[in-house]
Every structure is written in structure tokens, then in C-alpha cells.
Structure 1
């Protein structure tokens, strides 16, 4: 992200911005002239209140209006953005995202964003200046980061060259250091979400398991992290029958990718982050139907989220230990592919009867969890585009979660609240686990269609070896069909910010 961000008071004689962004509340619009003071400038205020009276601009969340100033103020355009006081970090992100879309529509290269006590003072005081600055920065960056198509004529993303956060005279909350710290954190976290999005949007003929390992190696090199890339021969030596079974149908062999981040060398606690890395999923022998199969490039969204989170915590130098594990494979139909009725022996020694080759993610994650445990993980979080069933329950609106430890789940839920990424806990009833009982092996990889999201998660939990574990099913939230707020059409990079918030709270 090449946008320059600054914070401070407006300097005398500074170059006028192309656009001035002002968050505006409904209360300010309701007030008559002189009622609650000036919003921007008297004539511009009249225009805004006229629009309010006509129902055109109500100061509500995600509303934004670009208004030409005709020399009334230095900026050529005012962008009025609706803001709801008391909406906290989510409200600030939404408003910043709406502002970003309006900035993009007029191609403004230099933007001033007014940090005004009237609209924002209460929320800034509640959140703290650093958290407020982070939320605004995330909203601006993420709303401008969309999917870049691969075309003959290379497209470039629009972004403003400069964004100045201007502290208005009445602002009494937060020091300059707090604001600059929040901006810096927002840039790192949003940049890591953008990294996860770009990785997920790569086409399947580019992002094979080996290429995913290459991207992980590049990241490890940039961040000076230790990395292991386990190829198919070493995987066989280590008994990774689950990973090898899923990947055996493809000409592109599987990889087990392991990154180590040691930010707290004196601590015995190690977080295991395991991300499903199915770089393309045809369903295998249990072939998916053709319509929509192209979206299965997103079946490694969990891997992207884990890599994005590692990127952020390493750049933030978070005092925490992490072993990040990505079981990567292509699930393809061929004369070599695994079949319904096969029995696979996992790295842990447990055997799995395959009843549906399109339920492959949980199988590779079995070896992923064991890999993390054998490398010292004491707590486990897996992230996976695991089921269509979670979309039946939650649509595109939330990530489903399952756990064997309610204390850890409470930490994850609080992190998701701070990040503004919705998570809904699914039930882990023993009846769902019984659906996985098998006559041919220790367990099977599917039951029936009822309660399938919970049963799928409990399959993974079988391999947690009693350690605290949370499963995050991003089957509906990792890829969306139309843009919303700060998320573009396609890959969303969901759960990066939640994982970062979770790990940072362990300091």
C-alpha cells in the first residue's frame, strides 16, 4: 500500500486537498442553522440539510455524498459520510469504507479526513485514539483493495497518494503518538488481509500446493521466520496418510507447510494455527457439479488467513509463539485418486473411512493438527472453508465455530468482536460425533446432511488430542458474490484480523 498517512493539525499554507472527508451524524443534520454549530461551511451545510430534508442523505451508516464546493473552501470536493455515534470500531470502519468508495469515485489523490469532536469524540473516548485510528485506517485500505483481473492490459488499483487525518481544534481525545501508532497498526493488519485476499484470488493453475509453499517461503524469508516444507516423500516417512491420500489424484503433489514464529522465547505456550490449503477442489471422485466450481480456487482461504495472520504478528513483533501449519493439496479425480470406501491411516495413527471424497478438507486437517501438536502446539485454532452446510446455517454473514474448550472459545469470540468479524458458535452435541462412527475404521469422514457443519468440525476435533481447540468454518465468509462494506467481491481475507486480535491479547 503506497498511500502516505499523516496525523496532525492543518498547517497554514499547506497544499489544498482534492477532497475533504467529514463524518456527519443525523443529529448534526437535524439541527437548524446555528443549532449545533457549523458542520463544514454555512452554504455547504445548507446543501446537506436540504438533502436530509428530502431523504437523500440521512447521516446513516454507509451513506456518502460527494459535493462540489465551488471555491467555498479550499478542497474541491467535500465527502460527507454518515456516522452513527456509539457504533464503535465497526461504525468507524464502515464510515471509512464508505469514504474510500467515494474517494475512488472522484479519483481524489490527496484527501483530508476531519477528526471532529462533534461526530467522533464519544467513540474515540470510549475506544481510545489508537483503536479508533486503526479502525478508520483499516476501513479505508480494505475498501479500496479489490480483486485484480489478469488481463492483457495490466490493471492498477486506485489508491490516494496521501491521506491526512486532521485533528480539528475542538478534539481533546488522544495524543499524536496514539494516532500514529493506530494508523501504523491499521496499515499492517489491513495489508495482511490484502495479502490473504490476493493469495486466495490466484487461479488454480498458478497456485498449486508447491506454489503455495513457494509463497510461504517468500513470506518466511521476508520476515526471517523458520519454515519447513514437507514434500510427498518426507510426508510418507512421517506417516501423513491423510494428506497423501487426498493429494494422490493430482499431478501436483501435496505439501505440508510449517512456519515457526517465536516472539516469546521464555513462554511454554505455543499457538497452533492450522489453515486448510486445498488449492483447488473438484470434489475428486465424488465430483462437484460444474456451476460455480471455478470458485473452488478459494478452498485454500484458511491457509491464506493463517499466512496473513503470521505476516501481521511478525511485523507487529507480537510477544507470542506460533506454529502455523498448512496442509496443501489438490483434490482431483484421476485413475490414482482416492475413492469412497478407501481407508486412510492418518499421521496420528487413527484410521478414516472415506465415504465422500468431497469432504477432503477435514482429512488433511487431521494431519495438520497432528503436525502442529508434534511441534509443540499447546492450543489449536483451525481455519477452513470446510462445509457448504455452514452457509445453509449462516449464509455469507458469519463464520461458524466449534470447540472443546469454552474458555478458549470466549477468547476467540472477544477477538472477533474487536476485529468486527462475526463468529457464531455451533453446537458440539455428542449425537453429531456419533454420526462419524464407522464399521471399517476409527471414524468416517461424513455422516448425513443434518447437522453436517457440526459433525465436520467434530471430525477435526477428534485429532486435537485433548488440547484446547477451536474450529473456524469460513465456508460462507471467505468468498462472497457481491461487495459489501470493506469486503470486495471474491476473496475477503476473513479471520486474519480476528487471529491477530486473539494473539495480541496473549501478551
Structure 2
């Protein structure tokens, strides 16, 4: 956990400033540092007296007005530079000019900077033998050049607290997603969820394979029965109001490893299927943050978790499976398993009182053909719901692109022998996969987020590291906090 501190006007940061300001003019004359946006220059401090801070990181903010995403990226660059220096402590002197140039308010500026620092400081856990690894930044001090009014200081502190919460929730999701499959089984994922629930005093339940069968969750049972690690259905509830009403359901796909089952995947790249529970990690990150923020809303989180493996008792193409909703599903491809378990999860979220649902899933390779690893694909049955969620994504900086849902896509899911089939083929695959899940929303407002391209990256980009990104944690939180503030009307 990174400790973010707000320094008072007369702090160690103030004494630090004089030691490096003399050198900036010379750097500008030589063209080494012009203060361009995201330009970083590491400057040794020349001082006759010993100083606790022998190195200064100069970070350019440019000359234009900065939005939240520019502020996040600026802070990420600072965190990366500190990591290269193996710094334990970082003091950031926030120029008054930066706040004036920002297109955002004081609170939003502080939140974006803090988010960027926390996200940029993240490093994936390694398992290398006998190697002493740098553990990263421990403390960051944010210091404003001028003395602010009490109200502005309160907004600044509030922004730092929210940014720290958003960033740490995202990093929690990253940590879970990066875990190898032999460490994160369905029962281990359930244990991680219970740990979060107990830490914050949330009611929770975990259904084992016997209870899953007794309740009639045929989809989750079918997908998980080929593994020696049996499936789990995980529920956590957050109640922020006096009555359990106006409940938002957040559902995350929790396939802890996906071989494709009998419809086996190709071997190259299969190691990245440790990330097939990225949706589950995202909603767990959200629940962790709700425990800190405590908004006046009600949320039920549901995770269907299984390991999709080929085995003598694994489900097969041609099987007919009966879901918790009573719908029968024709299995055409066992590698289209995520939508099957999510169908049971949506039904269970409705049983727990959800009045609107957002599901998050690494669902299809088809979404990569359309959006690559740049944006998350979205499918909905409610345009107003989608518009408000898209507004939240723009504030969080996480790109979401809505896919069309023409009537012909629904027709493609019809089965001759069951109520619905689990794949409609490769054409329009991201849309039809999402619409399969939407059938289980029973007409209530619903959004599906396909993070197959954005949950796990092959190289570092923007605020995201190589590997797990924790995508959609910040957007989901932004949306839920908008519900609390009244910015979002009921759908």
C-alpha cells in the first residue's frame, strides 16, 4: 500500500525547491528540459549541505489546459522515474500553475494525480529465487506551492483519498489477475472474496459444488465439472442505505483458468488464460473500494467461478444444459463457457434483488478483432443506462465502445433443440456473446463489458503495466459514486 501525504506549506518540500530551481533555466537553454507535457528529466541536486533528497525528477506539464487523463499520465511518468531510481520516498511539489492550467477542479486534479501515482507505482509479483527485489515507493508527499483556503484544502484532501482508493482497488484487481492458475483456483478466489468481505463487514456467501447443483445452477456446474478444482458461486453484498432497495448488481466472470475444455484452445498464448477471471477481479476491486468510500447505495456482487478443463467427465459439444433460470442451453463449443456461467450469475443477482446489472468478462476473441486491446466492448438493452455509464468511463479515462444490437443478432442465437445456443459462430461474435448473457437479465437494465482485449496487455501502455490492468474498476466506481451523488437518474 502506498502512503500519500499532503504536506503543509512550511514542509520539507518547501526547502527542497530552492535546491533545484537554479538549474532549470540552464536545462531550458540547452534544450534538455523544456517542460513539455510528460517530459521527464532526472536532475542530481547540487548542494553543499547534505540533503535527504539528492535527486529531483522534473516533470513537464506543458502549456495547455490539462484534463484528468493528462494528469494521470503525468503522475504515472513520475512514478516510473522514481521506480528507476529505486526511491522509497517521493515528494511532489505541485505548482500552483498546474492547478490553474487544469481543466478540472481541485478535487478532480488531486484525484487524477494520486490515481496516476498509485497505478504507476504498481509492479507485478515475481517468483525468482534468491533475488532481492526493490519493493517500490512507500511514501509520497503531495505539496502545494501556495497556502490554499480551507475549502480548497478539503477538496484537495478528498481528491487524494478518492484517488488512493481507486488506484489501490485497481491494483488489487491486478494482483488477483496476475496470479498463476495453480495458486488461484475457484476456492482460492472465493477465499480472497471472503477476506475482502470480512475486512469491511459485508455479508457474503460461497456456494460449493453440492449447493450449486441443489439450486439448479446447471451452467456453472457443467463448465466446472471437468476440473479437480470444483466450481464456486460467490456473493458479497454492500448495503449503504436503510432499506435493501434500488440495488445495482455487478457480476464478474471468474474462470480461473480456461483451456477451452473439450473444444481445446491452441497452445501458444494459453498461459495468458490466467487472466480469464479479470472480470471477477474487477468487481472484487470495486467491493474493496466501497468498503472505504461507503457511498449511500446498495450493491450485490456475484462471481461464478470455475476452471474449464478437458476431462472424462467434462461437458461436451452437443450437450443440453439447464440453467438456473430454467432456460435450456445447447452447447456447440465448450470454449464459449464464460457466457454460460454468467447466465446463472445474472439470475442469481436478480434473486438477490438486483434492479440493474453490469457484467464484466474476458468473453470473446472477437472483440479484439474489432477494438484490439485499446477499448472495452459494450452491449446493452437500455440506452439511458449506457449513456450514464459511458459518461463515467470518460471521467475515468477507460475507453468503452458500444456495439450494435440489431434484431438479426438475437436471431442468430436461436437453437433448434433448446431455448438458446451458446455460440452463433464467428460473425458478430462479440455482440452475440453479449446478447446471450443479456437473455438472463429478464428485461431489466443491463450492460455487458467485454474486457478480453483490455484486461491483460502484452506491453506497458499509458497508466497500465504489462500483464493485468484491473480495467473497469475505476469506471464502475465512478458510475456507482454518480448514483450516490444523484448525478445518475434511475434507469
Q: TM-score range by the shorter chain?
A: over 0.9
1:461 to 429, 438, 442: 438
Measured at CA, do residues 146 and 470 of structure 1 come closer, stay the same or move farther in structure 2, by a change above 3 Å? same
1:77 matches 2:55: yes
Distance 1:258 1:317 in 2: 18
- Aligned counterpart, 2:489: none
- Aligned counterpart, 1:317: 294
Distance 2:262 2:418 in 1: 20
Distance 2:152 2:48 in 1: 31
Residue 122 of structure 1: CA displacement?
A: 2.8
1:8 matches 2:8: yes
Distance 1:357 1:72 in 2: 69
**1:19-30 matches, cutoff 5 A:** none
1:352 to 329, 334, 357: 329
Measured at CA, do residues 464 and 39 of structure 1 come closer, stay the same or move farther in structure 2, by a change above 3 Å? farther
SS at match of 1:308: helix
SS at match of 1:462: helix
Tell me if the contact between 1:480 and 1:489 (Cα under 8 Å) persists in the aligned partners: yes
2:398 to 417, 421, 424: 421
- Aligned counterpart, 2:382: 405
1:63 matches 2:43: no
1:43 matches 2:20: no
Distance 1:478 1:214 in 2: 22
Runs (5+) with no aligned partner, structure 1:
21-37
Distance 1:405 1:182 in 2: 31
Measured at CA, do residues 363 and 155 of structure 1 come closer, stay the same or move farther in structure 2, by a change above 3 Å? farther
SS at match of 1:401: strand
Distance 1:447 1:314 in 2: 40
2:145 to 165, 168, 176: 168
1:104 to 72, 83, 88: 83
Greater shift in the superposed pair: 82-91 or 470-479: 82-91
1:222 to 184, 195, 199: 199
Tell me if the contact between 1:121 and 1:171 (Cα under 8 Å) persists in the aligned partners: no
- Aligned counterpart, 1:197: 174
- Aligned counterpart, 2:475: 498
- Aligned counterpart, 1:372: 349
Residue 77 of structure 1: CA displacement?
A: 2.5
Distance 1:173 1:60 in 2: 32
Residue 153 of structure 1: CA displacement?
A: 3.2
Distance 2:147 2:202 in 1: 45
Residue 376 of structure 1: CA displacement?
A: 0.4
SS at match of 1:414: helix
**1:302-313 matches, cutoff 5 A:** 302-313=279-290
Please, what is the CA RMSD of the aligned residues?
2.1
Greater shift in the superposed pair: 110-119 or 167-176: 167-176
Tell me if the contact between 1:343 and 1:352 (Cα under 8 Å) persists in the aligned partners: yes
Distance 2:75 2:307 in 1: 38
Distance 1:170 1:460 in 2: 53
1:114 matches 2:93: yes
1:146 matches 2:126: no
What's the CA shift string for 1:187-231, capped at 9, x where partnerless? 111111111111111111111111111111111111111111011
Give the TM-score taking structure 2 as reference length. 0.93
SS at match of 2:418: coil
Residue 300 of structure 1: CA displacement?
A: 0.2
Distance 2:286 2:375 in 1: 19
Measured at CA, do residues 396 and 49 of structure 1 come closer, stay the same or move farther in structure 2, by a change above 3 Å? farther
Measured at CA, do residues 476 and 192 of structure 1 come closer, stay the same or move farther in structure 2, by a change above 3 Å? same
Greater shift in the superposed pair: 179-188 or 390-399: 179-188
1:394 to 371, 375, 383: 371
In the alignment of these two chains, the number of paired residues is 481
Give the TM-score taking structure 1 as reference length. 0.90
**1:267-306 matches, cutoff 5 A:** 268-306=245-283
- Aligned counterpart, 2:113: 136
Measured at CA, do residues 107 and 404 of structure 1 come closer, stay the same or move farther in structure 2, by a change above 3 Å? same
Measured at CA, do residues 97 and 334 of structure 1 come closer, stay the same or move farther in structure 2, by a change above 3 Å? same
Residue 4 of structure 1: CA displacement?
A: 4.4
Tell me if the contact between 1:146 and 1:157 (Cα under 8 Å) persists in the aligned partners: no
Tell me if the contact between 2:66 and 2:101 (Cα under 8 Å) persists in the aligned partners: no
Measured at CA, do residues 363 and 58 of structure 1 come closer, stay the same or move farther in structure 2, by a change above 3 Å? farther
Tell me if the contact between 1:188 and 1:312 (Cα under 8 Å) persists in the aligned partners: yes
Distance 1:14 1:482 in 2: 34
Distance 2:244 2:79 in 1: 41
Distance 2:35 2:408 in 1: 49
Runs (5+) with no aligned partner, structure 2:
485-491
